Structure formats: structure tokens, C-alpha cells
């Protein structure tokens, strides 16, 4: 299976690409890295300093999520003053059902992970009996994951992928943003080669969602809910990040295999996720080809 370099006129993604900028793809890549690095890094530095310079692990994780507000600001400044394009052209418009599609895909992948891991005796899931305060914090954390997940989507699957796809074709746009996504997570705690492959696969799958739906809504819905459900609800680590207050805990059993459980990287590092992603990617490619045949 393959995707054509150019999508047919009239397709949802072709319509989205009409708003792509005119800068060279390599400049778009440098801009995306700068927006993520300076935007997040600058805010993280300030927040860490305000927290006393040496916050505990839980506070550091919260500050990390909040720091993605800087990514939104940096992207807006770049779009407003350098490329002089409105943010909305990156793909914020679309039917509300697209968010549901993304959320449903996140639930399917995580459910497959949990079912296979627990049925195989690799992971034990336990209820944490959280207090009312802890439950409120868990619910409120969804907002932080919304800020973080959507920031990564708008920069990588919005700005970068669309800029590259408009000049070099869709396969190049999909591949480049997926590689960048994997590189950005490669230094996280607990990273393995399976985790890196999976993160690239998640990026590729999310890129296909944008191509299929012609907007960022499904990808944003997936990214936000995937991180929140995996970490705050099920108790897995999320790309190597740990959380203190969760509804459940997910711990490897004695003798469990990290390539099945994901180890300290979380479910994203599991071979189960790899298999489910491969099936989803194949299905999305076929869905895109079917839609394009109608145009």
C-alpha cells in the first residue's frame, strides 16, 4: 500500500494545504524545532526558577506540561510576524466528531495493551482508592495534557507536516514529522528501541489522521486522551514520565518482559502497541485511498 505524492483536488487534505506557507521545508523544520525548544525550554526555565530551582519529580512533571504554553506563544509569534498567516489555517476547523474518532482510537490501543498485558500475566492493575482531592487533581490534569498534546500536534502535524507536504509531497511530510517526533522523545527516561519505533509509529499514525480528516481535531483528541488515560487513569508511565496521583496503578509482575509491558517508558514502549499501530496505519491508508478515489 502507498499514498500518492499529491492528494486529489477537492479532498479534505488538499483543501487544508491551500493554507500552507511558502517557506522552504528545511526552514520549516528549523522553525518547528526552534518553536518547540525555545517555547517550552524558556517557560520551563522560568517556572523551575520560580519553584526554587530544584522541584521534586511530581512538580517537575507538572511544570513540564505547563511549559508547553510557551510553545503556543512561540508558534503564534512565528505565524503572526514571520509567515504572516493566521493560526487557524493549520487545521483547527472541522466537525466535532473528528475529536471522537481520535479519542476512540486512543481507547482502542490502550485497551489492547491492557488486555494483552494482564491476560498474559505481565502487568497487574490495581485500584489506588484515591481521595476526593486526588480525583479532582486527576480530572484537572486533563487540561494540562490538552495544552501539551495539542501543542505538539499543532507544531508537528500542523505547521511542519503541512509545510513539507505542500512542497515535497505527502510521504515526505508524514515521514519527516514522524522522525522528529521520535527524536524529541528519544532521550526520555526508560527509552528502548521499541519505544523509539513506536513513537515514530504514533507520529506517522497521527499524521495519517490529519491527512484523512483534513484537520487536527482527531490527532489532538487522540494525543490528549492517550496521555491522560495512560498516565492518570491506568497508572502507566507516559513516555518515561511518572505521576503520583492516579486512579489505578499498572506494575510489571515478577519475571515480566519489558518489551511486552513497555517497562519504565510506559505502554508506548510495548510490542503490543507496535502491532496495533501497524494495523491502524494500514487501515488509515486504505481509508485515505478510498476517500481519494471518490474525488
Query: Could you report the per-residue pLDDT of 27-49, keeping only the tens digit for each?
Result: 999 999 999 999 999 998 888 88
Taking a C-beta distance cutoff of 8 angstroms, is the pair 187, 44 a contact? Answer: no
Neighbours of 134 (CB within 10 A): 15
What's residue 27's pLDDT? 97
Query: Could you report the per-residue pLDDT of 197-221, keeping only the tens digit for each?
Result: 999 999 999 999 999 999 999 999 9
The average pLDDT across 62-66 equals 89
What's residue 1's pLDDT? 40
Strand partners for 266: 238
Output 61 or 204, whichever has higher pLDDT.
Answer: 204
pLDDT higher than 70, residue 115: yes
| 3 state DSSP class of 248 | strand
User: Could you identify the residue written with the cell 476517500?
Assistant: 291
User: Could you identify the residue written with the cell 474518532?
Assistant: 101
Mean pLDDT of the chain: 93
Query: Interior CA angle at 12 toward 9 and 13, to 5°?
Result: 80
Neighbours of 206 (CB within 10 A): 29
Outline where DSSP puts E strands in the chain: 123-127, 248-252
Of the candidates 11, 16, 73, the residue with the CA atom closest to the CA atom of residue 40: 73
Residue 119's pLDDT band (boundaries 50, 70, 90)?
A: very high
Share of the chain above pLDDT 70, in %: 98
What's residue 54's pLDDT? 76
Alpha carbon separation from 113 to 83, 171, 185, 213, 246 (Å, rounded): 42, 28, 20, 26, 18
**Whole-angstrom Cα distance, residue 72 to residue 132?**
32
User: Could you identify the residue written with the cell 502487568?
Assistant: 123
The average pLDDT across 249-272 equals 94
Per DSSP, the chain holds a count of helices (H) and strands (E) of 12, 2
The average pLDDT across 77-91 equals 96
- The DSSP secondary-structure symbol of 238 reads B
| 3 state DSSP class of 35 | helix
Q: Is 87 exposed, middle or buried (0-12, 13-18, 19+ CB in 10 A)?
A: middle
Alpha carbon separation from 12 to 121, 158, 215, 284, 288 (Å, rounded): 44, 14, 8, 14, 10
What's residue 236's pLDDT? 95
Amino acid at each position: 500500500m502507498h499514498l500518492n505524492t499529491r492528494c486529489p483536488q477537492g479532498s479534505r487534505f488538499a483543501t487544508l494545504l491551500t493554507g500552507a506557507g511558502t517557506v522552504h521545508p528545511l526552514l520549516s523544520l528549523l522553525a518547528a524545532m526552534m518553536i518547540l525548544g525555545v517555547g517550552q525550554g524558556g517557560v520551563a526555565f522560568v517556572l523551575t526558577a520560580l519553584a526554587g530551582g530544584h522541584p521534586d519529580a511530581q512538580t517537575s512533571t507538572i511544570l513540564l506540561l505547563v511549559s508547553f504554553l510557551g510553545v503556543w506563544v512561540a508558534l503564534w509569534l512565528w505565524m503572526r510576524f514571520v509567515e504572516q498567516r493566521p493560526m487557524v489555517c493549520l487545521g483547527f476547523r472541522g466537525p466535532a466528531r473528528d475529536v471522537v474518532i481520535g479519542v476512540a482510537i486512543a481507547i482502542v490501543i490502550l485497551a489492547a495493551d491492557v488486555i494483552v498485558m494482564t491476560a498474559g500475566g505481565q502487568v497487574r492493575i490495581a485500584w489506588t482508592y484515591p481521595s476526593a482531592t486526588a480525583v479532582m487533581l486527576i480530572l484537572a490534569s486533563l487540561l494540562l495534557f490538552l495544552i501539551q498534546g495539542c501543542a505538539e500536534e499543532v507544531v508537528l502535524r500542523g505547521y511542519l507536516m503541512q509545510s513539507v507536504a505542500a512542497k515535497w509531497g505527502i510521504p515526505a511530510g508524514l515521514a519527516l514529522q514522524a522522525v522528529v517526533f521520535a527524536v524529541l522523545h528519544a532521550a526520555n527516561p526508560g527509552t528502548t528501541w521499541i519505544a523509539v519505533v513506536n513513537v515514530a509509529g504514533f507520529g506517522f499514525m497521527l499524521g495519517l489522521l490529519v491527512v484523512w480528516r483534513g484537520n487536527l481535531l482527531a490527532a489532538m483528541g487522540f494525543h490528549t486522551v492517550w496521555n491522560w488515560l495512560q498516565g492518570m487513569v491506568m497508572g502507566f508511565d507516559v513516555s518515561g514520565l511518572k505521576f503520583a496521583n492516579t486512579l489505578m496503578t499498572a506494575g510489571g509482575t515478577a519475571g515480566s518482559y519489558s518489551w511486552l509491558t513497555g517497562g519504565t517508558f510506559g505502554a508506548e514502549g510495548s510490542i503490543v502497541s507496535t502491532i496495533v499501530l501497524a494495523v491502524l496505519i494500514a487501515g488509515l491508508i486504505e481509508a485515505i485511498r478510498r476517500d481519494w478515489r471518490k474525488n
